Structure 1
Amino acid sequence: MFQSLISYVEDIKERNHSSGAALVIIKDNKVVLEHYSGYHSNAANSLPIYESSQFNIASARKSYLGLCVAYALYEGKIKSLDDLAVEYFDAYDTNLLGKTTIRDLVTHSHGLHEIDGVMFREFPPGENWAYRGINIVMMTELINKLYGKSFPEFLKERVFHPLGMKETFWHTEPNEKLVQVVDDPNAPATYKLGQTIDGMESNLHTSAREFAQWGNMHLNKGMQIVPEEVIQLATQAHNPFYKNKDLPQNGLFWYVQDTPAIRSEIGEKVPKGSYQILGITGPTLLVVPEYNLVVAKMYNKRYNYGGSNYLHYLREFSNLVADTFRRF
């Protein structure tokens, strides 16, 4: 019954020149599918993708940062999502931040942008939606400051170690388990490794099975390791009220299915209350509480979904998942 999902994953891999792919599905807390194909890079004699292969998940790391923001709210280090950003960020222009709130920063509704080191405002806070990197940098800085350690180290202590996760972390040196990233199909793939593990850089690697486990931990309200309230904070919609109903809804960086929206990366067939995260290298993690389901899909090609067409492919796959498991 999973052949349509496997075929879709393989078709996208071939069309977009990803050298490897993986698909792991957890249903009712049981792994019901593991599919691995291709190689760690596009070089000859590259290692094949296997269960311990660790993909660079790029900005899908936002869901990991989001959990830390949820902890900070739960533990009172951030008093409220509606607190003004100027109360927490001393190094930024207070006039530029203006009435920007923490809520705006975690739901991509902040209106800030940065090009060549110059920060500016694109739209008033809370009035529109745009995916930019500056809010990720800002919230990473804040969590690292609030806890006196990097958020990856925080997660290692609070979540990864208690869950027994050994294939998830920020890497600064290559090793044989790491999957390289294809930028140009006609050029050799390369390792995307940051210089530090402070979470500022997109060097988080994880296996497909631990990516799925990350989703399943959220699905199961923390598995008595993370407080249930923290999970609820991370995965419920927090975006401000948008006049434009086509804009996506967000939790703490997760995309959340509320009322289906044209600009959402989640297809309209996916049940309300589901949530998803993705990265530019091709990983997507979809959690569907109504079906007690987690689907983790991996690639290693930047711009894997074809530039402006990426929403189409994401929505199409999530709709295919919904069609498959509605009958399960």
Structure 2
Amino acid sequence: MIPWVEDIARKNDSSGHALYIMKDGKTVLEHYGGYHSFEPGAQKVNPTSRFNIASARKSYIGLMVAYALYDGLLKIDQPVHDYVKVKDPVFRGVSIRHLLTHTHGIGEGDSGLYTEFTPGENWSYNNVGVDTLAHLVMEMYGVTISSFLQGRIFNQLEWVETGWMTETSHELVKIIGNRDEKPMDGLHPDSDGTRKNLFVSARELAWWGQLHLDKGKVGNRQIVPEEVVNLATSIHTPESLLDELPRNGAFWYVQDIPRMKSEIGDAVPAGSYQILGVTGPTILVIPKYQIVAVKMYNKRYNYGGADYLRYLKEFSNRVADACT
């Protein structure tokens, strides 16, 4: 796995990378390479280096949504209009299930939201469902996503390398565009959890996956109710969706059968789930093999081109093949 991760870093011109794999709750592989950026004097990537995990953050938002379903604040097939004060016609016919699984059919352009397809009849990846649900659950609980997770999970487990960052720190890995451009810091003034400024170390992202794999339990402590984890990682996609399209839980990609447009490889067994970000961070959980695998990069559009799905599937296939 290490040569493959390093080869992808070279091909995509990522300045830094990390690989962290757990098996049966124990670390079996931990590797760090490269630097926080291409700038002179940049720090080497190390165990405390924190990468901006981009869209992999949706698994954190998804868990709070799963809590809301568990607590009865949301009902998965309830229309979105039953929960929002402003009755935007673009949400007509859209349910919580549709928002969770990228099947809501709402597009977002320069002039605002628009209907792209009938809810539940197709799949299109964008941030509309994520943003809508994020603000909805914050309103319901009366707290931010970051404070909710901090109090219920991060503080209890003494995680200090996970958080939505507003200020620079020597632990934070920069985001690379082109090598000759100034790297981006990935920070945002807001730390409520709705923005793309979640920075996590490779090991704490793996522990996040392990928390899900162990159904919310750490040692003898039930940190997250088991049913909340089940709600986050079970398929909620409408059954009528075309076979080639991905299946999702609470934003996680969930494997049932191999699907052409899924980001999970065909060799990965059913019941596994994965989520990734545009800069290359990926977390893969394979319950059948008791495996959690995390890779980290810091290059935007880390998998470019028309054949991007092949690259996304290759990582999970390699992890699965190594287990058989």
* TM-score scaled by length of structure 2: 0.97
Measured after TM superposition, the shift of residue 310 of structure 1 is 2.4
1:303-325 CA distances to partner (integer Å, 9 max, x unpaired)?
00124332111111111111101
Task: Give 2:169's aligned amino acid.
Answer: N
Q: In structure 2, what is the Cα distance between the partners aligned to 1:117 and 1:197?
A: 27
Distance 1:117 1:65, change over 3 A: farther
Matched, 1:51 2:40: no
Q: In structure 1, what is the Cα distance between the partners aligned to 2:111 and 2:45?
A: 38
Matched, 1:73 2:73: no
Out of 146, 149, 152, the residue aligned to residue 143 of structure 2 is 149
Task: Give 2:244's aligned amino acid.
Answer: D
SS at match of 1:308: coil
In structure 1, the partner of 2:86 is 91
Out of 163, 177, 195, the residue aligned to residue 201 of structure 1 is 195
SS at match of 1:159: helix
Alignment of structure 1 residues 1-328 onto 2, 5 Å: 5-78=1-74, 80-93=75-88, 95-223=89-217, 224-326=222-324
* TM-score scaled by length of structure 1: 0.96
Q: In structure 2, what is the Cα distance between the partners aligned to 1:314 and 1:122?
A: 26
Task: Give 1:148's aligned amino acid.
Answer: G
SS at match of 2:18: strand
Q: In structure 2, what is the Cα distance between the partners aligned to 1:205 and 1:135?
A: 22
Measured after TM superposition, the shift of residue 185 of structure 1 is 2.0
SS at match of 2:306: helix
1:175-195 CA distances to partner (integer Å, 9 max, x unpaired)?
000000001122121201111
1:232-279 CA distances to partner (integer Å, 9 max, x unpaired)?
000010100234210000000000001110000000110000000000
Q: In structure 1, what is the Cα distance between the partners aligned to 2:27 and 2:212?
A: 16
Structure 1: state its 5+ residue gaps.
none
Contact in 2 for aligned 1:221/1:231 (Cα 8 Å): yes
Contact in 1 for aligned 2:61/2:134 (Cα 8 Å): yes
Q: In structure 2, what is the Cα distance between the partners aligned to 1:87 and 1:204?
A: 30
Contact in 1 for aligned 2:145/2:194 (Cα 8 Å): no
Q: In structure 2, what is the Cα distance between the partners aligned to 1:45 and 1:158?
A: 38
SS at match of 2:94: coil
Over 3 Å off, 4+ runs: none
Q: In structure 1, what is the Cα distance between the partners aligned to 2:310 and 2:87?
A: 36
1:9-45 CA distances to partner (integer Å, 9 max, x unpaired)?
0000000000000000000000001000000011111
SS at match of 1:249: coil
1:107-152 CA distances to partner (integer Å, 9 max, x unpaired)?
0000001112411000000000000111111011101101111111
Structure 2: state its 5+ residue gaps.
none
SS at match of 2:121: coil
Q: In structure 2, what is the Cα distance between the partners aligned to 1:140 and 1:92?
A: 17
Contact in 2 for aligned 1:42/1:188 (Cα 8 Å): no
Task: Give 2:281's aligned amino acid.
Answer: P
